[in-house]
Each structure stands twice: as structure tokens, then as C-alpha cells.
């Protein structure tokens, strides 16, 4: 990306991108000369546009058409030319009402954040649910429900509960189940789930005692919770993408909707975006994920207990009002982290 772009070229690029975002029509030199408000001729503007095209910031969708921004043009616009607009009072109040300034139910507030992002942007809103690999084991209980059936209950430090019905080869008394739970809790309480499952894998590799069936099942509960992380992403409003003309038309939109439905590749992208701080924008091919080649993804991490717990944002066309979307995503992330941090 050129850092030596002169002031006139920057001004014209900014005006062109803003015009294209506003109406979706390729911008010609006469229109740009008029819109940019510079006292220069259309011929001069045409020469600057030709230089910007040679440098990769613009392209011509048709031989006789005006110019539109490329991925690189959008990136330079976002990084160097964009002026953000403060979040409106109405949007701020809506976020407060929906996400709340009181102790929430975590699932409800995560869903509310997803919905409000979609509603305010008319795009697909998403939230990456907090990862549980580092969740701390609080305790495990084993309860006999029938003669050869035991309910295993695993609880994390955040109050998340997973349970499974275990079938045993023989009846197990209440004393044995208490003994198993006591052993499990004494050994593993206070450790992250991923450490618990790794330790149990090692300890159970050689042993095949009946009691180990109970411990193995508790280990599998923890593994299930970690495996579910791969799909723990909420998406709302993906079908609003059907109404966006930039994404309309057959194969590209079908691939995008299938990718949104699968989630796994999107989760990997979002997990990568959690490594940075602040708002991140993936323009077109920058995501490295082919179905998003015609889209932009705007993300921001949210923080719990001083650590990044997840990420949220929107998926929409590259031709989106970034000056409005970026503050919205940023403020939603801050408010979500605050709401989830409140005592329940």
C-alpha cells in the first residue's frame, strides 16, 4: 500500500469510495470532479483515477464504466481516510435496553447482542460465545437414577452445567458414587477443563476398573464441552444478506449462507481476530475464507475478568457504512463485556 499518495489523490479516493458506498454505482471522472469539491478539471481527475487504478486501489467493472474501489482501495480508505461517526443517542439507548445494565442471564444477553447488531445494521450479526477450554472445574456429582444408570453432572466456575446418563454393567451404590465424586473433585477441582481431560486420559489409559467407567464418563463430559466450543457461535439475521444487492445472485450468496450455517470456518476466523485488540476489519479476500471474498467482516473482542472471552461483529457487503458500523460494533462489545461481568 502506497504511503506516498498525495493529498489530492487521497481526497479523490475518499470521495469516490464514499460515493460508491452511498449508491453502489461506478463513479466517473465528471461525477467525481463535481462530488469532490476540488477546483480541478475532469481530465485531471481522470488522470488521478488512472494512477489509482494502476496502483490497485480502483478497478473498472466494465470497459465503458466508471471506477469502483478494490479490496486495497477499501483498506486504504478504512485505515487512512475514514472519519468515524459517534454512536447516536438512539442506538446507545437501544443497546442499553437490549443488552442491559443489570445482572443478565448469559445466554439471553449473548443472544440479545447478536439480534441488536443485526437489527441496527441490517446485516448478519454474530457473537462468538466465550470459550470454555479455560473454564475451571467447580465440581462433579454422580447420582444413581436407576439400577444400572448414573447421572453424571459437571459444573464449571461460571455455573455452566453439563450432564450425561451413564449405563453401567452392574448396580453401583451411593457410597461408591460418593467415593468416585470425592476422588474426582479432590484431584481436579480448580483446574481448567482441558487439563482435567488430559490428566484423565493419561490415568485411564492403563486401568479398566468399573469405577473408571464413571471417571471416564466425567472426562468425556469435559471433552464434550470443549468440542462444543467449535460450534459455539450465535448468528442472527443471515437471511438479511439476501436483500443486499451487492451479495445477490446465485452461487456466491449460496456459498456464503452455507458457510454461515456451518460456522466452523467462521469460528476459526473469529478466534484469530481475538488475538488482537480493538476493532478489526477483514475486507474481501483478507479473511482468507473464499465465501467471504465479496464481504467485509467487522469484529471487536469483549472482555471478561480482564481477559478477552469472545468476539462479536457483523458480516455484510464491502460497500457498508464503516463510519457507523465500527463504533456500533466497538460499543456493543464493551457493553456486552460489562453486562456479562456483573454478578448474577
* Cα 104 from chain centre: 20
Higher pLDDT, 133 or 242: 242
Contacts of 166 (CB under 8 A, 6+ apart): 142, 149, 150, 151, 152, 213, 214, 217
pLDDT of residue 1: 43
Cell, residue 252: 456466491
pLDDT, one tens digit per residue, over 284-299 is 999 888 888 889 999 9
Q: Does domain 7-81 fall into CATH 1.10.10.10?
A: yes
On the question of pLDDT at 275 being above 80, the answer is no
Which of 6-20, 261-275, 322-336 is the least confident region?
A: 261-275
Q: Which overall architecture, per CATH, does domain 137-229 show?
A: 2-Layer Sandwich (3.30)
Q: Are 137 and 156 in contact (CB under 8 A)?
A: yes
Identical fold, 7-81 and 89-129+232-341: no
Domain ranges of the chain: 7-81, 89-129+232-341, 137-229
Per-residue confidence (pLDDT) for residue 2, from 0 to 100? 47
Question: What pLDDT, on the 0 to 100 scale, is given for residue 165?
Answer: 77
pTM for the whole structure:
0.76
Give the pLDDT score at 10. Answer: 97
Note the pLDDT tens digit of each residue in 109-137. 999 999 999 999 999 999 988 765 557 88
In CATH terms, the fold of domain 89-129+232-341 is Beta-Lactamase (3.30.450)
Q: Which of 34-43, 213-222, 303-312 has the lowest mean pLDDT?
A: 213-222
Name the residue among 10, 12, 17, 14 with its Cα closest to residue 29. Answer: 12
Our measurement of the distance from residue 144's CA atom to the centroid of its chain's CA atoms, rounded to an integer in Å, reads 40
Amino acid at each position: 500500500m502506497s504511503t506516498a499518495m498525495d493529498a489530492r489523490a487521497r481526497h479523490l479516493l475518499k470521495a469516490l469510495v464514499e460515493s460508491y458506498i452511498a449508491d453502489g454505482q461506478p463513479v466517473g471522472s465528471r461525477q467525481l470532479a463535481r462530488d469532490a469539491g476540488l477546483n480541478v478539471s475532469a481530465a485531471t481527475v481522470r488522470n488521478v483515477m488512472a494512477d489509482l487504478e494502476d496502483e490497485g486501489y480502483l478497478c473498472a467493472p466494465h470497459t465503458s464504466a466508471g471506477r469502483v474501489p478494490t479490496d486495497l482501495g477499501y483498506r486504504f480508505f478504512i485505515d487512512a481516510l475514514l472519519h468515524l461517526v459517534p454512536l447516536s443517542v438512539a442506538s446507545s439507548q437501544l443497546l442499553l435496553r437490549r443488552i442491559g445494565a443489570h445482572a443478565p442471564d448469559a445466554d439471553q444477553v449473548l443472544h440479545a447482542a447478536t439480534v441488536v447488531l443485526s437489527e441496527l445494521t441490517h446485516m448478519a450479526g454474530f457473537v462468538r460465545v466465550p470459550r470454555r477450554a479455560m473454564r475451571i472445574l467447580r465440581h462433579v456429582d454422580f447420582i444413581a437414577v436407576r439400577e444400572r444408570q448414573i447421572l453424571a453432572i459437571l459444573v464449571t466456575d461460571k455455573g455452566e452445567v453439563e450432564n450425561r446418563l451413564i449405563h453401567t454393567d452392574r448396580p453401583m451404590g451411593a457410597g461408591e458414587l460418593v467415593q468416585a465424586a470425592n476422588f474426582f473433585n479432590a484431584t481436579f477441582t480448580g483446574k481448567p477443563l482441558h487439563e482435567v481431560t488430559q490428566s484423565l486420559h493419561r490415568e485411564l489409559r492403563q486401568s479398566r476398573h468399573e469405577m473408571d467407567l464413571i471417571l471416564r464418563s466425567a472426562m468425556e463430559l469435559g471433552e464434550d464441552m470443549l468440542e462444543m466450543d467449535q460450534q459455539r457461535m450465535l448468528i442472527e439475521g443471515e437471511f438479511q444478506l439476501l436483500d443486499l444487492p451487492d451479495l445477490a445472485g446465485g452461487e456466491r450468496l449460496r456459498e456464503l449462507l452455507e458457510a454461515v450455517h456451518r460456522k466452523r470456518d467462521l469460528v476459526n476466523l473469529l478466534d484469530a481476530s481475538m488475538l488482537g485488540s480493538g476493532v478489526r476489519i477483514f475486507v474481501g479476500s483478507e479473511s482468507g475464507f473464499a465465501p467471504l471474498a465479496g464481504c467485509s467482516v467487522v469484529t471487536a473482542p469483549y472482555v471478561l475478568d480482564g481477559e478477552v472471552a469472545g468476539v462479536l461483529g457483523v458480516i455484510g457487503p464491502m460497500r457498508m457504512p464503516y463510519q457507523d458500523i465500527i463504533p456500533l460494533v466497538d460499543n456493543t462489545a464493551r457493553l456486552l463485556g460489562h453486562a456479562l461481568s456483573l454478578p448474577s
